Every structure is written in C-alpha cells, then in structure tokens.
C-alpha cells in the first residue's frame, strides 16, 4: 500500500472509532487480562523466547489511580512464579504516581520491588520522557541498594546517555539500551537517525567492555547485525547480553534466527485495558501498519 496513504491513515486514525484502533492493538498487546498475558508468554516460552511483562498504563491524574496498577503488578509477579512461566517484569514509574508525588510513588514501587525479590525475579524500570530521567535513575539507585536484580533503560537519542551509563558502570549492571520513543528537543537529543544508531552501538559496547549486561532493545536490523558481529568477534559470553523486541513487531524471522543461533531473545509483552495510547504510539512508529489494519478491516467486513 502506498506510503502517502499509510501516512494519511496514521493522521486520521486518532479520529477513528476505538474498535478500529483495536485492530492494531491486537497485534501489540497480549490481551486485557493477566490470563491473556500468561497464555502468550507460555506460547513464546515454548518457541524459545523469554519475556518481560508490563501492565499497560502511564501518566495518571490522581494517586487513587495507582491502586489498580499496583495490585496488577503484585498479581503479575506472583503469577509468573505460580504459573512457572519465564518472564521478568517491566514498569513505568508514572503509572505509580511519579508525576504527582515521588514519596508515594516510592512506597508503591517498593512494594513491587519486595515482591519481585521474594520471587527471585528481575525488575526493569522503563525510561520515560527526559523530564523524568534524573528521578528515574534515582529510583534505580535506591532500588539497587535493596535488591540487586533491578535494571534501568537508557535512550540512545539523548546526549546525556553515555555519561549516565558511565556513572552507573559496575560489574553486572543491567541496562536496556533503546533509541527512545518520546519527542525530545534538539538541545538535548540527537535527531539524526544515523547518530542515534551510532550512539546506540557505542552504549552497547560501553556496557559489554565493562562487565555490564546489555539488553539490546531494537527492531533495527542494522543494529542487530552490528551487535551480533561485535558479540561474535569479541567472544562475549551469552550470559552478558540479550536481544529484546516488542510483542507484535513483524521481525519474527530475525528473532527466530537469533534464538536458533543461541542468543537470548526477550519479548516485551504488555497487557491490560489501557491499550489505546500504547497502540497509537506503535502505529506512529510504523505507518505501514495502518495499511495492514485497513486491509484487516476490510477482510473482516468482507467475510
């Protein structure tokens, strides 16, 4: 389908009925319930993938809105153990109240961290927009003093990221490297895709050269290829890194090949009722999807 048409669809989708956007969501979200997430993760595990599960939701307006995600995260952590599925947990601090009250957010976060520790699992703190970078890294530092199996995320579009990684470098430090998804000003963030890619590779190498653990989160085949070459030529052991991708992004063949070549591949599996903003972001990242949805929509109608 023509690019201009897909771009046109992306611009008009926000005006579309929610059920139509739901057709996108189906590709990116495991479902609305924890049972949906368990089913998807079990299926991924059977295919050789590990997972990171995330309860959908972010910016909230009232602290009472943190109660549900908190319950859901505690339940998720418990269920990962009881169902014996292979998954860790990712979360966004804004969902726990970060933009409203940092102390209350810490209280919420600590409850989840303690549960993760009890279950001997791993907790990844997602990175949000640049206004929250410092406070998120502070949360990570504090969390690390309580439990070692916690990691943060660094965005290769931010100028500051190399310095941030250097500040935290220590053996076993576990960092997810991604490009970054928020709109950031040229004063603080690279805008050129080539620069963002170069910085991504620099950050991964920085981790791997300094006994860190690199979680390489990208669908960019050039980066994946460059990392594979670097790992191979430097004999980096398989327990020092992993590749990560978002559930539903159409790079299955590459992911399957990575698994069959012995690399760990973790799929980010979101679930929950709050699928709308997440799916809209995914759609903006890949306008071609709008064309697929359009086709799906008419296939459904013509059945």
Ligand X SMILES: Cc1cc2nc3c(=O)[nH]c(=O)nc-3n(C[C@H](O)[C@H](O)[C@H](O)COP(=O)(O)OP(=O)(O)OC[C@H]3O[C@@H](n4cnc5c(N)ncnc54)[C@H](O)[C@@H]3O)c2cc1C
Positions touching ligand X (CB under 6 A) are 126-127, 153, 155, 178-182, 217-220, 244-246, 249, 268, 282, 285-286, 289
Q: What single DSSP character describes residue 260?
A: H
For 232: left if phi > 0, alpha if psi spans -120 to 50, otherwise beta; the answer is alpha
Whose Cβ is closer to ligand X: residue 78's or residue 259's? 259
- Distance of closest approach, residue 284 Cβ to ligand X, in angstroms: 9
Whose Cβ is closer to ligand X: residue 292's or residue 297's? 292
- Distance of closest approach, residue 303 Cβ to ligand X, in angstroms: 25
Unique residue bearing structure tokens 């490009």: 179
Interatomic CA distance for residues 260 and 118, integer angstroms:
32
Q: Among 54, 126, 197, 282, which one carries the catalytic annotation? A: 126
- Distance of closest approach, residue 162 Cβ to ligand X, in angstroms: 16
Neighbours of 124 (CB within 10 A): 25
Largest Cα separation within the chain, whole Å, is: 58
- Distance of closest approach, residue 217 Cβ to ligand X, in angstroms: 4
Interatomic CA distance for residues 14 and 280, integer angstroms:
8
- Distance of closest approach, residue 225 Cβ to ligand X, in angstroms: 12
Is the separation of the CB atoms in 161 and 154 below 8 Å?
yes
For 133-289, strand residue ranges (E) read 150-155, 174-178, 213-217, 241-246, 265-271
For 48: left if phi > 0, alpha if psi spans -120 to 50, otherwise beta; the answer is left
Can 176 be counted among the known catalytic residues? Answer: yes
Q: Among 54, 124, 176, 197, which one carries the catalytic annotation? A: 176
Helix (H, G, I), strand (E, B) or coil at 172: coil
Which tokens is 221 given? Answer: 């085949």
- Distance of closest approach, residue 64 Cβ to ligand X, in angstroms: 25
Whose Cβ is closer to ligand X: residue 179's or residue 263's? 179
Whose Cβ is closer to ligand X: residue 180's or residue 291's? 180
Helix (H, G, I), strand (E, B) or coil at 34: helix
Which tokens is 197 given? Answer: 């890619």
Whose Cβ is closer to ligand X: residue 78's or residue 99's? 99
- What Rg, from alpha-carbon coordinates, does the chain have? 19
Whose Cβ is closer to ligand X: residue 77's or residue 244's? 244
Closest CA to 155 of 211, 116, 197: 197
Catalytic residues: 126, 176
């Amino acid at each position: 389908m023509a690019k201009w048409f897909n771009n046109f669809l992306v611009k008009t989708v926000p005006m579309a009925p929610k059920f139509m956007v739901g057709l996108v969501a189906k590709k990116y979200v495991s479902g609305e319930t924890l049972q949906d997430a368990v089913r998807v993760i079990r299926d991924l595990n059977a295919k050789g993938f590990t997972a990171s599960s995330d309860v959908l939701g972010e910016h909230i307006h009232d602290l009472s809105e943190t109660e549900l995600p908190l319950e859901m995260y505690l339940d998720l952590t418990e269920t990962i153990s009881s169902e014996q599925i292979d998954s860790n947990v990712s979360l966004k601090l804004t969902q726990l109240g970060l933009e409203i009250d940092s102390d209350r957010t810490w209280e919420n976060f600590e409850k989840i961290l303690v549960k993760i520790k009890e279950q001997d699992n791993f907790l990844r703190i997602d990175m949000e927009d640049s206004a929250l970078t410092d406070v998120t890294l502070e949360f990570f530092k504090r969390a690390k003093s309580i439990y070692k199996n916690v990691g943060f995320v660094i965005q290769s579009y931010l100028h500051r990221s190399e310095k941030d990684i250097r500040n935290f470098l220590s053996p076993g430090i576990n960092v997810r490297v991604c490009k970054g998804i928020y709109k950031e000003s040229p004063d603080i963030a690279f805008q050129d895709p080539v620069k963002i890619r170069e910085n991504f590779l620099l950050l991964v190498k920085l981790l791997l050269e300094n006994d860190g653990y690199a979680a390489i989160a990208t669908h960019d085949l050039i980066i994946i290829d460059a990392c594979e070459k670097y790992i191979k030529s430097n004999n980096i052991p398989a327990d020092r890194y992993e590749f990560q991708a978002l559930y539903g992004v159409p790079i299955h063949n590459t992911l399957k090949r990575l698994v069959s070549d012995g690399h760990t591949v973790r799929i980010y599996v979101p679930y929950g009722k709050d699928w709308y903003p997440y799916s809209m972001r995914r759609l903006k990242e890949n306008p071609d999807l709008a064309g697929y949805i359009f086709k799906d929509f008419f296939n459904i109608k013509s059945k």
